[in-house]
Structures are given as structure tokens and as C-alpha cells.
Amino acid sequence: MKQVLVSQGEAVVREVPAPTVGQGEVLVKVSASCLSVGTEMSGVRASGVPLWRRALYRPEQVAKAARMALDKGVRRTWEFVEQKRSEARQTGYSAAGVVVETGSDVSGLAVGDRVACAGGGYAVHAEYIRVPRNLCVPVPDGVGFDAASTVTLGAIALQGVRRASPTLGETFVVAGLGILGQMTVQLLRANGCRVIGVDPAPERIDLAREFGMELGIDPSVETELEHVARLTDGLGADGVIITAATMSDAVVSQAFQVCRKKGRVVLVGDVGLTLNRRDFYEKEIDFLISTSYGPGRYDYRYEELGYDYPPAYVRWTENRNMAEYLRQIEDGRVDVGSMITARHPVDDAPAAYASLSTDGQKPLMVLLTYPEHESAPVRSIRVASKSTPSPGTIRVAVVGAGAFAQANHLPNLKSLGDRFELRTVVSRSGPTATAAAKRFGAVTASTDFDEMLEDRDIDAIIVATRHNLHASMALAALQAGKHVLVEKPTALTKEDLESLDEYLTNSDETPMLMTGYNRRFSPYGVGLGSLLRGRSGPFIVNYRMNAGFIPADHWVHGPEGGGRNLGEACHIYDLFTFLANTEVASVSATSIAPASEHYRRNDNFIATIRFTDGSVASLTYSAAGSTEYAKETADLYVDGKTAILHDYERLEVYGGDGDVKTAMRDKGFRDELVAFADCINNGKWPIPWWQQKQVVEIGLEIERQLTNAPK
């Protein structure tokens, strides 16, 4: 399918795979999408900013890159940063079309329904889009696709008006008469308000007058204060809604000055915010922020997981604002057609963007239109000619092309070209799959996991998706006859683990399953293992993971991630199992009872594992420490020897030989892939299934104890 992307200061049209729908989502064939003059053009300009200039404004990203350089080396870090800077990104957040597929748990919508859609990353400029249920609404019969495609902008304007709480007969000033300003004028008029508009463009003032605005002011030639005072009998405006986009602080200052005492100012646009206390203090003016489409915006649980807010407590969510805006169009209270000044076929998107970046008068509202066709969406495209790999090379697909895969698995696969041929990159995002496939030399890019499983030219699959999909995808790939390297954790639930165990233990011949417990393959894991080889007695190991804080609303803590214990500490449970090479005798865990919801019970805990040979391993896992200290350290004691691990940069051994030191931090990601290739070729599993199963069982038992769940 065709999709508009932005890269290095320009808009481009690329061919990418169509998306697949997941739980709670619908697939929409787009008829029209609305180009946001302010938000999208700022994104286009930002994509062309040089790297050094970005660093000046994003010092936290510089620090992140510095940490990556310690792990991956300067060269790979530079290549990764350059790739992120130059990669083409999705754009657009308002569209309308027809539902062609629905995922599970979707209610109120069916195939064939006309819908309007919102959301960055969802309602993008593309022939097909996948949208969560709470970000799409039915389009009334009396509203066309062109008008419906403005739903996001309309919901933004409507939320700004709601924040202002206008009442019949009040006078409002609208600062900025672009798209949002024109919509705001009409919505205020529908509320029975008198409206004054401020904008330097005469044509925008004229258009707003057609929508019922009483007075238009050009701030470059007229004084707002005098006009507003005259129209309100010296009282001042009851409120101001700022829909302008400028870095100047003057807009906010003027808004305060034209208000009456105890008036209100609502900020919808993006303006300078250096405030002058004298402008608002004596009048006791209320200054309110309007957050995009309304309640639910930026709430992951609402937008992506589909949780709604009860209407009795939150009357107007972003979804209900979207629906009400379309009803206002249907009832004739909002006229969108008069604001649409240009329509471009999607193939001409670069020209549409160019028209908005020229000097002088610009189109007020631009739409992109899409071809009508009945063909099914194509979810796999070829990005390179078919290669001729060396004999014995393993043909592999990578499922999930997020930051982890692009920083680790994909570059390592490329460097191991004598062992692997990268056939396919699969991602839910077509542009992401395509960009990663091209960068790392894959033959095809795809968004369809099931279709990829049917490809006989693929021998093995690396699963690097979010945690909740690991077990089901690994099982499906094994059943399709593919060898699997699944990222940790192997499974998040007892049921998923049992499904894998039943298949692996009851099938006569199965492909190999390996979980991405990379630390055991690092020079440091190997060094610790060598130290324990031939030991005469049990060992003690104290492992400390200074994990760092992750906010409570991050996906890692939700159903997709499973929490820090199951999702990350499993690495250490595997290292313990590797070192002991025996079964677990007992597990105990104690958590810091959080004093507030800032931390969770599985954020800060101590877990102790006793093995049947008498060895004892303990993990101190904390999200409460300083990021200035090393993330992972450990002390091991056995047979008169002591080993100290320093964050996978250095291993000190006392009482014997075996010191290890590498030029950079090495957690074994590349060696893990080497082991994966070797085991496919020789049939010997590098991690026995009983050990992979035991690691999940340890994590589940620790989770039960940390959360006080019943057995």
C-alpha cells in the first residue's frame, strides 16, 4: 500500500505492507485524510534538523547514546543514531474510511461501517490504517468522508470550547484563525456567544465573518484591547481561546489583558509561555490548558487497551468529543467544506506538503484522497532481490523490529552472514518493517506473522515482540516446523508455559526452542561457569541488579510486559540455573512494601533460590537506586575462590585464574546467536528445555510471593 512518510525535511510516498489488526482494533480502508498544517509541518521541519542541533535541545538523548556506546561501541552507536535520524517516519492523525476487518473484542463497529479515526501512529496518511476502538467513531449518514476526515481537529477545537465553559450571551476572543480557530468560532456561535477573532491574515478574518464572527482584528495594525473594550461596554472579554501557533509570549499576555476580571483563558495552540504576573494576578484570571481531543488522550489504557471512562463521571471523552463534532457537522452548526482549500491524491502528497511550506498565503485545510479498489491489503512486500546465501546458511525471520531488535539482533545477524541469511522482518508497522528490512538486508518486509509461518524458505524465527506474545508465537512457529529463538521471558503465565511444555515433551521430533537468556553466553557467564566446573561443594552467589525506575504506566508493568520480575529478572534466574545446572529446591522472595504507588511490589525485592546440590543464589533487584551506579554486579564464592562481576565489563577472580575483561560491555547477544546457529546445525540444545521451564517457574513463584497471590 502507499503511505506518506517524512524524512530529512521532506514528505515522501513509499510502498509498505498494510497493517494487521490486533485485539480491540479495526482495519480501515481510508478514503480521505486531513493534513494538519501546524503539527505535521513542525514534524517535517524537525526531521531535517542536523544531529548536533537536536543534541542541544535533547541532552537526555545524548546521555542515552553515551550509555549505548559503552554497550555496543562507538561505531555501532553512531550508525544506530544516524539511522534513527534519517529513517522515514509516519505522519498524520486524522482520517476517515470504511472498516474492512475487525479484531477480537471490538463492539459497536462492523465490516462495512463508515468511520472517522484519530491518533498519531494510527490515523496516518495511508491506504489502510489500524485503529484502536476508542480512537474511531461511526460517521453519520449526512456527513461525507472529506468532512469526517477532519475529526481530530474538530475534537481538539471542541475540547477547547468545553474547557472555556461558555454560556449564552458571553463574549469570547479567538486568538488565531487557522483551522482550529475557524472551528472554534463556529462552536462558540453554536453556544450562543459573541465572537471576536484575532489574526494577521485578512482572508482568514473574512472567512470567520462568514461563520458568524462579529469582529475581526489584525494585531499588526489594530489594538485588541480597545476593540474588545468597545464591543463589551468596557467590561472586557469573558474568555479567550488561544488557537494560534507562535513562539511569541505576546499572545498569552494580550489574552490576559483583554479579559474582564475573573475571566478565563484557554490554551489550545502552541505559543510562548513566559508569563507576566501583572497580566493576570489582579484580575484573578483562570488559565486553563486544553489537552488535545479530551479526556483519554495520552492514557495508554484508554487509547490502546480500550478501557472507557464512565459517562456519569467523565461526560466527554476524546471518543465522545469526536462523535459530537461529527453530529455538529450533520446538524449544520459546523461548516467544514468552506475551509477545505485543496485536495491532493496520495501520490501527490509531496506537492501538498510543499504548498504548506512556501512563503506567502498558504492553504487553510488540505486533504489527501485515496484510490478506490476492491483488492485485499498486501501485507508482505519484496525490498531486495533474492540472495544466494552460502551453503548451510540458516534462513531466518525476525518478528518485532523495535529498538531492542534493531540495536542487537538485526546488526548481529548482519555481522554473522556466514551463518544466517535474513529473509524477512515482521512488524505491526509497515514502515518499520520496511525500513529495518532495507537497512539490514532482508529480502522481504511483512506485517503478517501467520503468512510468514507458511514461508518454506524460512528455517528459523527470532521472536522479539512484547512479552505477552512470546509463548503463543513461539508455539505457533514450532508447530510450523521452524526453529525458534524467543526473547525473554519464555512465557508470562502458567497456562502458556504448560502449552509449550506439552508440545515439547509429547512430540517425537520438534524444532529447537531457545530463550534469549544471553548472559550465560557472554564471556562473563562462560567465565563464571568455568570457575564452577569440577567444584567440590555448593556455591553462594549474590547478584545485585540496579534496574532503574520505570513509570507505572509503562507497558512493561502492564499485561504486555508482565512486570519487572517476570520480564527482566528472569535473566538472572537463568544465570543461576546455568551455574548450578541442577533443579531448584526452594524459592523465597521478600518485597519492600511500597509507601506509595510510585513503586510496585515487584520493583524492589530480594529473591533467594536454593538448589538441590545445596548452592544458594540471591538476587537483590531494585528500581530505587541511582543510575550513576553500575546496573549489574555480582559476588560468587566457591571452593576457596571469589569472583566479582563488574557490569559485564570485568570479572575479577581471587584464589585462582580466570580474570575476564572486554573492551566494552558484553552481555553475550552475539554469542547467543552463534550458539543458536550451532545448535540448529548439530542438534544439541544450548539451553535444555528443563532449564528454560525452570526459569519461568522460578519467576512465577517469586511473583506469587511478591504479590501475595494464592497458590
In this predicted model, what pLDDT tens digit does every residue of 38-60 receive, in sequence order?
Answer: 666 565 555 555 554 555 556 65
Give the pLDDT score at 428: 93
Q: Which of 61-75, 117-131, 637-651 has the lowest mean pLDDT?
A: 61-75
In the chain, % of residues over pLDDT 90: 79
Does domain 2-150+300-369 fall into CATH 3.90.1300.10? Answer: no
Taking Cα atoms as reference points, which of 410, 392, 389, 412 lies closest to residue 401? 410
How do the domains of the chain map onto residue ranges? 2-150+300-369, 155-289, 381-515, 519-707
Find which of 240-254, 587-601, 611-625 is predicted with most confidence, using mean pLDDT: 611-625
- What gap in Å lies between CA 518 and CA 643, rounded to an integer? 20
Q: Report CA-CA distances (Å) from 551 to 400, 631, 632.
A: 23, 18, 20
Residue 505 pLDDT class (50, 70, 90 cuts): very high
Burial call 449-478: b when 16+ CB within 10 Å, e when fewer: beebbebeebbbbbbbbbbbbbbbbbbbbb
In the chain, % of residues over pLDDT 70: 92
Does a cis peptide bond (omega within 30 degrees of 0) precede residue 489?
A: yes
Give the pLDDT score at 52: 45
Q: What CATH class is the domain 155-289?
A: alpha beta
Residues sharing a CB contact under 8 Å with residue 389, sequence separation 6 or more, in sequence order? 395, 421
Strands (DSSP E) found in 549-670: 584-591, 605-611, 616-622, 632-638, 641-646, 650-654, 660-661
531 close to 657: Cβ distance less than 8 angstroms: no
Same fold, 155-289 and 519-707: no
Q: Report CA-CA distances (Å) from 219 to 16, 172, 193, 269, 670.
A: 46, 16, 22, 17, 62
Selected residue with higher pLDDT from 485 and 246: 485
Residue 72 pLDDT class (50, 70, 90 cuts): low
- What gap in Å lies between CA 194 and CA 200, rounded to an integer? 20
- What gap in Å lies between CA 442 and CA 696, rounded to an integer? 32
Residue 345 pLDDT class (50, 70, 90 cuts): very high
* Average of per-residue pLDDT values in the chain: 91
Strands (DSSP E) found in 443-578: 444-446, 460-463, 483-486, 513-515, 540-546
Residue 9 pLDDT class (50, 70, 90 cuts): confident
Rounded (10°) angle between helices 179-190 and 202-210: 30
In this predicted model, what pLDDT tens digit does every residue of 215-254 receive, in sequence order?
Answer: 999 987 777 787 888 888 889 999 999 999 889 999 999 9
596 pLDDT more than 60: yes
379 pLDDT more than 90: yes
Give the pLDDT score at 595: 80
In this predicted model, what pLDDT tens digit does every residue of 525-541 receive, in sequence order?
Answer: 999 999 999 899 999 99
Q: Report CA-CA distances (Å) from 55 to 52, 354, 599.
A: 5, 27, 31
- What gap in Å lies between CA 518 and CA 667, rounded to an integer? 6
Three-state DSSP at 461 gives: strand
In this predicted model, what pLDDT tens digit does every residue of 20-42 receive, in sequence order?
Answer: 999 999 999 999 999 977 666 56
Q: Which of 216-225, 270-279, 284-293, 579-588 has the lowest mean pLDDT?
A: 216-225
Instruction: Specify burial of residue 374 (Cβ count, 10 A radius: 0-12, 13-18, 19+).
Output: exposed
Taking Cα atoms as reference points, which of 534, 605, 518, 611 lies closest to residue 566? 605
**Considering just the CA atoms, what is the radius of gyration of the chain in Å?**
29
The residue-averaged pLDDT of 120-139 equals 96
Give the pLDDT score at 68: 65
309 pLDDT more than 80: yes
656 close to 641: Cβ distance less than 8 angstroms: yes
Give the pLDDT score at 242: 97
Where helices occur in 583-688 by DSSP H, the ranges are 669-682
Give the pLDDT score at 41: 58
Cell of 591: 518485597
Give 501-507's long-range contacts (Cβ < 8 A, gap of 24+). Answer: 501/689, 501/693, 503/475, 503/478, 503/479, 504/478, 504/689, 505/689
- What gap in Å lies between CA 256 and CA 114, rounded to an integer? 43
Give 40-46's long-range contacts (Cβ < 8 A, gap of 24+). Answer: 40/6, 40/91, 40/92, 40/353, 41/353, 41/356, 41/357, 43/6, 43/89, 43/91, 44/6, 44/9, 44/10, 44/11, 44/91, 44/353, 44/357, 45/9
Selected residue with higher pLDDT from 60 and 377: 377
- What gap in Å lies between CA 107 and CA 334, rounded to an integer? 29
Residue 452 pLDDT class (50, 70, 90 cuts): very high
The residue-averaged pLDDT of 149-154 equals 97
Q: Could you tell me the fold of the domain covering 519-707?
A: Dihydrodipicolinate Reductase; domain 2 (3.30.360)
CB neighbours (10 Å) of residue 516? 27
The residue-averaged pLDDT of 76-90 equals 68
Q: Is the dihedral of CA 285, 291, 295, 299 positive or negative?
A: negative
372 close to 345: Cβ distance less than 8 angstroms: no
- What gap in Å lies between CA 516 and CA 484, rounded to an integer? 10
Q: Which CATH architecture has domain 381-515?
A: 3-Layer(aba) Sandwich (3.40)
Give the pLDDT score at 44: 58
